[in-house]
Amino acid sequence: MTQGTRDTEHMQGRRAALVIAGTAVLWVLATLIGGKMGLSPRMLALADLAALGGFVWALWMVFNIWRARRDNQG
């Protein structure tokens, strides 16, 4: 594995971590603010679905990093 490949994987991992953290923070804020504002359960469910989409996207990013690392080792 070359230094450039390690740097690329490191940046991709950092991006995935930021997506996970950002999704979690936005999800918690949406739940708290939505509850205080009295939003309907339908709107809160929409926020939950958006958060689920963010987490699935981050999981896909991590899977691709793992697959690339595995392919570069062999």
Q: What is the pLDDT of residues 57-69, one digit of tens each?
A: 999 999 999 999 8
In degrees and rounded to multiples of 5, residue 10 shows phi and psi of -65, -45
Question: Mean per-residue pLDDT for 38-44?
Answer: 94
State the DSSP string of 53-73.
Answer: HHHHHHHHHHHHHHHHHHHHH
Q: What pLDDT sits at residue 1?
A: 60
Cα gap 27→30, rounded to integer Å:
5
Q: What is the pLDDT of residues 5-39, one digit of tens each?
A: 778 888 999 999 999 999 999 999 999 999 999 99
